[in-house]
Amino acid sequence: MERKPIIGITSTILDIEIKGEVNPSVQTNHQYVKAVIEIGGIPIVLPVANAEMAREYIDLCDGIIFASGEDVTPTKYNETPSKELQQTNLARDEMELPLVQYAVENKIPILGTCRGLGVINVALGGSMKQNIVTEESEFSHNQEVSRKLPSHEITIEEDSHLFQMLGTKKAKVNSKHHQAINEVADCLRVAATAEDGVIEAIEARDKDAFILGLQFHPEELYAADTHMLNLLMLFREACEK
């Protein structure tokens, strides 16, 4: 019996109060764990540590999911924090940014959602918009309904790897973010956009590398959307290789 691929999932540190005592805890959305199990992988939650530990994670994992969470610290893309910036986690950035770089160097497949898209882009030389204005758009990028429901449509570039994975030029996605990509890293390309021009997906220019960043959350949509399930299954297949 072949071993299932081990897929690391990044996490954050959440202070949980128990009987009046604050306990820093490892936290990631359990939906990532469920999704990895569903596609036939072994989920491993990767605690926030340091760049040295990130190298150890690379040796452990066949693929890595960069999960959602805090804003990427603007100094990591040479900007001063704006007043619209929300919570950041420098310790997490200082582990995850090298983790992206090590994964790319070692040809480990990576998938990023929401914050994860930003982490991949910044780690490889791109930058972020610290806060996007959505009032002039026909839809909000911070939907009020559950993330398990789509809220708007994206357009997928027909020559992209993402188009090959989904087999469609249009897809319905969920949306829970206030940041977006500004400058795309040179080794990446835009794979999909929203109607207002916000970048919804980036991928490697190198067709042989599985590097995919998504502004949306396929781990929340796959149960009701076969396109999203197929995307996750192809990520697992890349991890198997």
Q: Write out the catalytic residue numbers.
A: 114, 217, 219
| Length of the chain measured in residues | 241
Give the CA-trace dihedral at 236, 238, 240, 241, to 10 degrees: 180
**C-alpha span between 152 and 241 (Å, rounded):** 34
Contacts 24+ apart (CB under 8 A), 99-103: 99/10, 99/46, 99/54, 99/57, 99/58, 99/64, 99/66, 99/123, 100/66, 100/124, 102/54, 102/55, 102/58, 103/58, 103/64
Which token pair is 237? 């297949």
